[in-house]
Structure 1
Amino acid sequence: MNKRTPILNPLTLPNGAVLKNRLLMAPMTTCTGFYDGTVTSELVDYYRSRAGSIGTVIVECCFIDPKGPAFPGAIAIDSDNKISGLAKIASAIKSQGSKAILQIYHGGRMVEPELIGGRTPVAPSAIAAPRAGATTPQALTAEEVDVMITKFGDAVNRAIKAGFDGVEIHGANTYLIQQFYSPNSNQRDDKWGGSRDNRARFPLAVLEITHKMARRFADPTFIIGYRFSPEELEVPGIRFDDTLYLLEKLAEQGLDYVHFSVGSLLRPSIVDTQDPTPLIEKYRAQCSPLLGKIPVIGVGGVVNKQDAELALEKGYDLVAVGKACIAYPNWADRIIHNEQLELYIDSTQREALHIPEPLWRFSLVDAMIRDVSTSGRKYKAGVYQEKVEAEALKLKINVTLDTDRITDIQMVPDDTLDVDFTTTFTSLRNRMLVANSPHVDAITGATTQSEALKKAVSRAMSTSNKAWVIDEGGNPLAPQQFDVVVIGSGGAGLAAAIEAHDRGAHVVVIEKMPTIGGNTIKASVGMNAAETRFQQIKGIVDSKELFYEETLRGGKNKNNPELLHQFVERAPAAIDWLANHDIVLEDITITGGMSIDRTHRPADRSAVGGFLISGLVKNINQRDIEVLLETAVEEILLENGVVSGVRVVDEYNDTRILNAKSVIVATGGFSANREMVVKYCPQLDGFVTTNHKGATGSGIKMLEKIGAGTVDMGEIQIHPTVEQTTSYLISEAIRGGGAILVSQAGQRFYNEMETRDKVSAEIIALPEKSAWIVFDEQVRKNNKAADEYIAKGFVLSAPTPGELAVKLNMNPLALEATLNRYNSFVAQQEDADFGRKTALRHPLNQGPFFAIRIAPGVHHTMGGVTINTDTAVLDEHQQVIPGAWAAGEVVGGIHGANRIGGNAVADIIIFGLLAGENAAARAKQHV
């Protein structure tokens, strides 16, 4: 981030709370609550996707009383049963690293009777609002005013229980609090009306009870803000000096901020139209020293960075952003990176932007919507028949396409099909129709069949697209123009494609295999990062310096220091980027070679690979990024030493040129290319590999042809725990969860949490050259991957250790003694035998007990092409090859001589994002 801009400076509020920057998401009506004001999951997603880089999110006004909603779909805080739903919003915002503040209000006379079951709204006086058709409200009695103040207090208490960092008292927009202060709406003759001091009693009483609740139930940094409308047009009505008078009174009681409610940052008076002075300048000139110490939020018309910087320059301390945050969920990231934004929303992107349907129809959003879908892939409308072939399965499907989407997928009737596949087909069909894409999650337990069906739909769409091009007078084999070509659809390639697209590039992803996911889909343990907000939430104290040192030590000091620094520094932001794209890795474990829990994984503790690819593919679909499957890159093209595109050949053996200003190579390593493995590391001949069969080093070869240098090609990692009959990797998370390794003699033989190279060497040194990974029910429950291994049939289990030993053809007494000794180490948190210091989580003493036979397998190639810290590919002389970028396992130098478990996923996301960002920037510069 650009630290030079003042909008990124932190701000300490009067109560000591620290806002990480000067940017806030303004409270904006979404109309998305249920009929009774409870929170919907759509609303939670809406706020989660907009939190993160922005310092604070002020959640839309929440009514405190059943007669308080001023608009349909308003959310409520009028009873304790609303706390759990609101807590989800607070948690979603805070999980992304932003402060969460809840605005509380009562609509008063602005409430329509139909919103409250036909009842009459209430107000300070029985005077209708000055608008056509307004209902005359019922005046609150003195006793009811006291009750109303109590209800505001109850709402504050509930906000605290829901986990919000603060509340904003909504004293603006002619709602109830403002109605009490206004001489137009408040014409009472008791202590709550008449003089200006009496009219100020109600907002002051609401602030007083807010303080009481905060002192009683919240910590001292609970934030209390006040929103105000500076003037009213009505006669009589609130004037600017009245507002300053009230704010001074409120300041005496204590506020952490005040929030202008105006349509434009520099709006002058709406009453004295001859005075062009912005109200913020009047405010700064006329407020007392006491009020002057309270931070002021400005709002209205902020779209780009210069708008926010102007607000601070003119006297605001903080800047609230409204419509721009709806149009751009990652608005803060964009403007910090100096993107110049236009205030509009692509009409096809509602779901991708997490905009709830009611808000989409709201006038505030509707005015921003534009139809920009003409750049998407087009189809010739019609029905296209394709074959689906997978093992014993053979059938035909009819895919119906409109010009821009899949409208139906049907099986051609076939009496030989079994019911199980019919169920699989129905589920997968629904997923593809909803996503308007064949790139969706496979059905669990029917992966092969799912991939075959998805490929058939993809083939139909490709055929239809070619027909459309021909009908339009084009040549489907003619060169195509893109800004960025991404080669490889693993985690690095998909992250790069999404980031490049979001930075304005026209992107295509090329994948030689028939399915998306690359080797990433086989990743199991998680993603390493230090100093993340998820660590902070869990109270894990970590440092980037320690992460750097342990990775360098694990790599035997052979890591490229500059790349490693980039890796460590960018890791927390990469975790946040994933979360902002609905890929939340909030559970944390540990891997071998690490001393701190810093391996982030899904909340359900499942394998990270499938979870990651599923989330990235959803983002690819939402952006309509084109993915060409079963398409190989024959060569990267150069013009005068500068990358100009690629030549590809598809499954039909058709060749064409894709012109591009940037090419990102994210094709993975070469663990599945035995010839290359043996060439660089002859001692690994005969080892199985955990990699998918597409990991053949094709990207390295392509880049070498255009002059790329390579590094560390002989550094090939073997993973210690691989099931040999299936080449299936047993996740390091199992050992990180507390499992142990035992020999056929029933004894531990090494520190299970050492680095992979060392553990592998010890297993190879055993007489059998294999070992058993042993764990109990506690480990199984906390590692969802274990259930996958059980389902695949290579886990042996028994109720007791002795019975398990019999199944393993092992001495029962030896295994029991080993477990007892290990359990004593857990109790002491000291491994006297092998010095294991991490993942001594609990004794292995709860049956059933499990074991998997494992041995090492080729897992990761640390060597690859050379890049600089921008991910630009370097030639043999360390000079940049213009337009060539690389990320992921195709790159060498990051991991040195040995990769720490959990660092590969971090590598692909960190450098994939960086490649996408820089490739898009180059494309823009070379239009």
Structure 2
Amino acid sequence: MSDITDRLFTPFQLPNGVELKNRLLMAPMTTCTGFYDGTVNKELIEYYQARAGSIGTVIVECCFIDNLGLAFPGAIGIDNDDKIEGLAKIAKVIKEKGSKAILQIYHGGRMVEPKLIGGQTPVAPSALAAPRDGAATPRALSTAEVAGMITKFGEAVRRAIEAGFDGVEIHGANTYLIQQFYSPNSNQRDDEWGGSRDNRAKFPLAVLEITHQMVQQHADPSFIIGYRFSPEEMEVPGIRFDDTMYLLEKLAARGLHYLHFSVGHTLRPSIVDTTDPTPLIQKYVAMRSAQLAQVPVMGVGGVVNQCDAEVALDHGYDLIAVGKATIAYPDWTDRIMAQQSLELFIDSSKREALTIPEPLWRFSLVEAMIRDMSMSGKKFMAGVFQEKVVDESHELLVNVSLESDGIKNIELVADSQPDAAFLDSFEIIRSRILDANSPHVDAVTGATTQSEAVKKAVSKALAKSTKAAQLADGGEAKPQQYDVVVIGTGGAGLAAAIQASDDGTSVLVVEKMPVIGGNTIKASAGMNAAETRFQRIKGISDSKELFYQESLKGGQHKNNPVLLQYFVDNAPEAIEWLADRGIELNDITTTGGMSIDRTHRPADGSAVGGYLISGLVKNLTQRAIDVMLDTSVTEIVSEGNQVTGVRVLNDDNEEQLIITKAVVVATGGFSANSEMVVKYRPDLDGFVTTNHKGATGGGIALLQQLGADTVDMGEIQIHPTVEQTTSYLISESIRGGGAILVSQQGKRFHNEMDTRDKVSAAIIALPEKYAYIMFDEQIRAKNKAVEEYLARGLVVSAESPKALAEKLDIDLHNLLATLENFNVAVEKQVDEEFGRRTALRHPINQGPFYAIRIAPGVHHTMGGVVINGESAVLNSDQQVINGAWAAGEVVGGIHGANRIGGNAVADIIIFGIQAGRNAAASARG
């Protein structure tokens, strides 16, 4: 080993005498994995535990010190004493592995997005928006609030000490609040905290001072105090390097144990003087005083291999922080000590093995490192395949370049003339496909249609290439053959495909629509289950028997008891099945017809559908499961009473026979087939539907051709809260979060948490035949679905009930009385007026106040084909059709006459798993 390498792995002593076992630290990196309220979860604890040990020190991601200070979703907090217990678990697992545990603390200031803090206005030194598109203008902190903010930093240090951390890192970088106070760009105050450079330096110095005070009161001298800084700002006026050196000298004089140089690469030069290639670390070493030189300096950025760390040490850094490499390689230090040469990428199938939390997996920093290694076993004809990209506004050509084992490039044909917005989204989706080596990736937010069009073009190129490779090998394309064919890509179909693949069978998924997701992607509330691990964590006492009885009551006792019992018994296992595959539903709310919180949803309170489909698609891609989009199944082929194949027709009108031993039909219901709806329920003529346009009952017709029986076809559910101009469903979780329904007269008129059929009937009985779902800021803060409603322009908002009443033309006297009566009911936990017993969470009394005009819409068809307790399809003689399985809304009998909110997502996962498992077993046997 060289002298530098020896220094890298030998112990290092900080100025306070604390010895680190080596000079390597895990850099603090956003994971977006905390619960919606900033508390720690099991996934986060396991993430840090997996990376501690050989590395000398772990710096845990930044914790917000105030509930207005979180700068990203899924942030963890240290803003109150309730957070200590969870943070202590992280500190404990790090220290037990032999590493030091340091916690970074921060406040985002003007970099906070209002939607992350419940729509409130961010705070900052001055009321100046950050120089970026769409940035909110913050509220300037008063002089008293500045002092209060310093106290909050001090309290955060105390909590870190009580949680057992070995130190804190004060986050004075990344243009967050501390840096904002020092910057002449963001701090234009005229009091003692602004103006001159000395005044602007007071805030970071005050934070350091209160940190020392807390250490003196609650810890011992071994407690580590670090400070992270960004050396320059590009803005004019802005922080320049000599400003930074001035501040660092002052911080060093007060006492620090290390400085963390926040740059994108350890050897980055100036971003202001772009003509000077000198690394900033060299300037720092040359300019620092003898006193500042006593404070160790840490470098970060671009460290993947041993040589990267050695070069950084050679240029003057004392400590090395490692970021992305420790995500890709939890045992990174061991690998470097073994002198391995590493490449910075992550195998798309290794998320669980690498203990990477699902939210971090979906974070752009990590997504850019993911590669799909699963296509290496497939054979493509190398070459360039030209395909059309068609959406509402464009018809363009792309060249998809393929190699024998995957996708090489995707380029727009030169004479294509897309607009700038399309080009932006194209580059993002192109990168995602190339990084994943698969077209089955998440669409670009705000550009879903364009993304799906590009993904479709790539999928068609892959299909043509595969066919060409087959012809080249054998001279004639043979019928494709799979053990299991799954029809439909909603939650039931994807769960079935994943389970069948996990059980060792080859699987093809066929979808008639151009996109994956079916109706599931529109699901909003969550997934019902009783006696789950997540309920126990939250102290919720529930029982499967109660869940059964409430589902039976909601279904008006028409439910198939065998299917309902299997549904209830297997719901907790389905929750764990998802969690095992990186899809954790660990937040819990309630829906109408339930007496207990058992509706499981994502930790951030967001709509369940998109989260679920995104996670299932990643699992689909990891397993290299083939998918045909824009392809209709025209016939399920059988010989005697045995399924032998399916005939499909793609959007190029090409017909193909696919040989298979088992078919899982998971095509959904028929709510979007108005003719079929009216056939069974003439009274629903003219109703809008919440379903996607592919929910037309095609799977029922396919199975009826085989002789399948049907049940409950007239049992069609209307959902009470549908925005009528867009047919957009307003999630039941909003009422489950505490919202109420009021009429145009400003009065409540029914128990909002009653079953959907009864609430819908009550709305239809109103003279105006519509109502408003009304809630306040407290409910919005805990239900991320509201952000989408706001973005879509569905919400009317106002700062007070009076202003809201004026906007809605509602009688103010009635509305105020309604709110007062409801708030009293919440206080007493007794709703004497309408008998509401659940979701009396808190008074509706914190502005802004919100309302969405709603009325019922066709939402779910409870009827469908008949299955037995194994998900096998039965004919009219109640005999099994061999090889035919079904799951999801295509099946009848489970929900009886009315489906409980949250039971559909449970249905598709529970029976999707069962159908996939049994289809695989029948195909193998």
> SS of the counterpart of 2:25?
coil
1:646 and 1:375, CA in 2 relative to 1: closer, same or farther beyond 3 A? farther
1:489 and 1:106, CA in 2 relative to 1: closer, same or farther beyond 3 A? closer
Partner in structure 2 of residue 813 of structure 1: 813
Matched ranges for 1:731-750 at <5 A: 731-750=731-750
1:818 and 1:104, CA in 2 relative to 1: closer, same or farther beyond 3 A? closer
Cα distance in 1, alignment partners of residues 747 and 588 from structure 2? 29
Whether the 8 Å contact between 1:76 and 1:82 is mirrored in structure 2 is no
Cα distance in 2, alignment partners of residues 524 and 358 from structure 1? 28
Q: Is the counterpart of residue 550 in structure 1 residue 550 in structure 2?
A: yes
Q: Deviations over 1:566-613 (max 9, x none)?
A: 101111111111111111111110000001111011111111111110
> SS of the counterpart of 1:857?
strand
Partner in structure 2 of residue 653 of structure 1: 653
> SS of the counterpart of 2:24?
coil
Q: Deviations over 1:389-418 (max 9, x none)?
A: 212223222211111211211223458433
Whether the 8 Å contact between 1:61 and 1:103 is mirrored in structure 2 is no
Matched ranges for 1:665-680 at <5 A: 665-680=665-680
Partner in structure 2 of residue 832 of structure 1: 832
Partner in structure 2 of residue 438 of structure 1: 439
Q: Which runs of 5+ in 1 are unaligned?
A: 1-32, 46-50, 64-73, 108-156, 163-325, 327-347, 360-370
Shift of 1:350: 3.9
Shift of 1:59: 6.7
Match for 2:348 among 326, 346, 351?
351
Matched ranges for 1:762-773 at <5 A: 762-773=762-773
Shift of 1:354: 2.8
Matched ranges for 1:12-23 at <5 A: none
Shift of 1:419: 2.2
Shift of 1:81: 10
Whether the 8 Å contact between 2:374 and 2:624 is mirrored in structure 1 is no
Partner in structure 1 of residue 24 of structure 2: 35
Cα distance in 1, alignment partners of residues 667 and 465 from structure 2? 28
Identity of aligned residues (%): 61
Partner in structure 1 of residue 910 of structure 2: 910
Larger C-alpha radius of gyration, 1 or 2? 1
Whether the 8 Å contact between 2:734 and 2:779 is mirrored in structure 1 is yes
Partner in structure 1 of residue 485 of structure 2: 485
Cα distance in 1, alignment partners of residues 616 and 678 from structure 2? 34
- Matched positions, count: 627
Whether the 8 Å contact between 2:487 and 2:493 is mirrored in structure 1 is yes
In the superposition, the TM-score normalised over structure 2's length comes to 0.63
1:872 and 1:465, CA in 2 relative to 1: closer, same or farther beyond 3 A? same
Cα distance in 2, alignment partners of residues 639 and 680 from structure 1? 32
Q: What letter matches 1:446 in structure 2?
A: A
Shift of 1:103: 10
Cα distance in 1, alignment partners of residues 346 and 636 from structure 2? 33
Partner in structure 1 of residue 803 of structure 2: 803
1:880 and 1:83, CA in 2 relative to 1: closer, same or farther beyond 3 A? same
Q: Deviations over 1:517-569 (max 9, x none)?
A: 00101101000011111111111111111111111111111111111111011
Whether the 8 Å contact between 1:548 and 1:564 is mirrored in structure 2 is yes
Whether the 8 Å contact between 1:83 and 1:159 is mirrored in structure 2 is no
Partner in structure 1 of residue 608 of structure 2: 608
Q: What letter matches 1:462 in structure 2?
A: A
Shift of 1:422: 1.7
Matched ranges for 1:336-347 at <5 A: none
Whether the 8 Å contact between 2:347 and 2:373 is mirrored in structure 1 is no
Q: What letter matches 1:386 in structure 2?
A: E
Cα distance in 2, alignment partners of residues 572 and 52 from structure 1? 18
Q: What letter matches 1:903 in structure 2?
A: N
Whether the 8 Å contact between 1:80 and 1:158 is mirrored in structure 2 is no
Cα distance in 2, alignment partners of residues 566 and 754 from structure 1? 25
Q: What letter matches 1:803 in structure 2?
A: A
Partner in structure 2 of residue 722 of structure 1: 722
Q: Deviations over 1:218-257 (max 9, x none)?
A: xxxxxxxxxxxxxxxxxxxxxxxxxxxxxxxxxxxxxxxx
Partner in structure 1 of residue 453 of structure 2: 452
Q: Which runs of 5+ in 2 are unaligned?
A: 1-21, 35-40, 65-75, 78-82, 100-159, 166-327, 329-344, 357-371
Shift of 1:61: 10
> SS of the counterpart of 2:474?
coil
Partner in structure 1 of residue 633 of structure 2: 633
Cα distance in 2, alignment partners of residues 431 and 439 from structure 1? 9
Moved more, 406-415 or 686-695: 406-415
Shift of 1:349: 9.8
Matched ranges for 1:691-702 at <5 A: 691-702=691-702
Shift of 1:649: 1.1
Whether the 8 Å contact between 2:718 and 2:859 is mirrored in structure 1 is yes
Whether the 8 Å contact between 2:390 and 2:396 is mirrored in structure 1 is yes
Q: Is the counterpart of residue 689 in structure 1 residue 683 in structure 2?
A: no
Shift of 1:877: 1.8
Whether the 8 Å contact between 2:635 and 2:646 is mirrored in structure 1 is yes
1:568 and 1:394, CA in 2 relative to 1: closer, same or farther beyond 3 A? same
Shift of 1:827: 1.3
1:387 and 1:740, CA in 2 relative to 1: closer, same or farther beyond 3 A? same
> SS of the counterpart of 1:483?
strand
Shift of 1:462: 2.0
Q: Deviations over 1:46-102 (max 9, x none)?
A: xxxxx999xx99977965xxxxxxxxxx25579999999xx99xx9xx99xxxx988
Q: Deviations over 1:732-766 (max 9, x none)?
A: 01111111111111110000000000000000001
Whether the 8 Å contact between 1:102 and 1:159 is mirrored in structure 2 is no
Q: What letter matches 2:349 in structure 1?
A: A
Q: What letter matches 2:811 in structure 1?
A: N
Partner in structure 2 of residue 846 of structure 1: 846
Partner in structure 1 of residue 135 of structure 2: none
Cα distance in 1, alignment partners of residues 790 and 422 from structure 2? 23
Whether the 8 Å contact between 1:58 and 1:103 is mirrored in structure 2 is no
Whether the 8 Å contact between 1:680 and 1:713 is mirrored in structure 2 is yes
Whether the 8 Å contact between 1:38 and 1:75 is mirrored in structure 2 is no
Partner in structure 1 of residue 406 of structure 2: 405
Moved more, 577-586 or 453-462: 453-462
> SS of the counterpart of 1:881?
strand
Shift of 1:775: 1.1
Shift of 1:40: 8.3
Cα distance in 1, alignment partners of residues 624 and 162 from structure 2? 39
Whether the 8 Å contact between 1:61 and 1:105 is mirrored in structure 2 is no
Whether the 8 Å contact between 2:23 and 2:56 is mirrored in structure 1 is no
Matched ranges for 1:23-422 at <5 A: 35-36=24-25, 63=53, 74-75=54-55, 350-354=347-351, 376-413=377-414, 416-422=417-423
Whether the 8 Å contact between 1:42 and 1:354 is mirrored in structure 2 is no
Q: What letter matches 2:487 in structure 1?
A: I
Partner in structure 2 of residue 221 of structure 1: none
1:79 and 1:592, CA in 2 relative to 1: closer, same or farther beyond 3 A? closer
1:379 and 1:859, CA in 2 relative to 1: closer, same or farther beyond 3 A? same
Cα distance in 2, alignment partners of residues 479 and 460 from structure 1? 19
Whether the 8 Å contact between 2:374 and 2:623 is mirrored in structure 1 is no
Cα distance in 2, alignment partners of residues 372 and 386 from structure 1? 24
1:105 and 1:421, CA in 2 relative to 1: closer, same or farther beyond 3 A? closer
Cα distance in 2, alignment partners of residues 373 and 788 from structure 1? 34
1:806 and 1:667, CA in 2 relative to 1: closer, same or farther beyond 3 A? same
Whether the 8 Å contact between 1:57 and 1:101 is mirrored in structure 2 is no
